[in-house]
Amino acid sequence: MVSVINAGLHRRNRMENLIQEQVTGLLGKYGWMFLAGAAVLLFRQTIENAVDGFMIFLGNDYNEDDVVEIDGKPGRIVRVGIWKTVFFTYDVREGKVVGGSKLVISNSKLKDLKIEKPLSSLDLTKYKDK
């Protein structure tokens, strides 16, 4: 009976050693891929925000001191950064600015807003039918 138990323990130890060697071999060879994948999964949101920020920061769509309308409210872009964009929005009543507020929006949220950049006066008379 004791020899049967010893044989079972010996087989189990051999199997554990074999599994440990396989796992060590895989992690040793491909461990960097596992760590890179885990880092991407853990920091996915941060990476997406950084990419959004770089696209807005490096793009020429909006610049500092541009006059824009944010969801129908007039404002001005104060600063375009890698992580966030700062606006001053104005409260206009009867054609006069009566107040305003500072609006800080992360660049990843800008796509959820309707931001319009009004064009300067255009001379459309040259496009009239002849």
> Residue 56: which of 39, 68, 71 has the closest Cα?
68
User: What is the rounded CA–CA span in Å between residue 20 and residue 26?
Assistant: 10
Domain segments of the chain as ranges: 2-42, 46-116
Q: Does residue 4 surpass a pLDDT of 70? A: no
CA distances to 7, 23, 39, 47, 85 from 114, in Å: 73, 52, 33, 24, 14
Per-residue pLDDT band at 103 (split at 50, 70, 90): very high
Per-residue pLDDT band at 88 (split at 50, 70, 90): very high
What is the mean pLDDT of the segment spanning 74-78? 91
Q: Which fold has domain 46-116?
A: SH3 type barrels. (2.30.30)
Query: Is the model more confident about 111 or about 114?
Result: 114
Least confident piece of the model among 15-19, 78-82, 118-122: 118-122
The pair of three-digit structure tokens given for residue 55, joined into one six-digit string: 């696209």
pLDDT value at position 109? Answer: 84
Q: Does residue 102 surpass a pLDDT of 90? A: yes
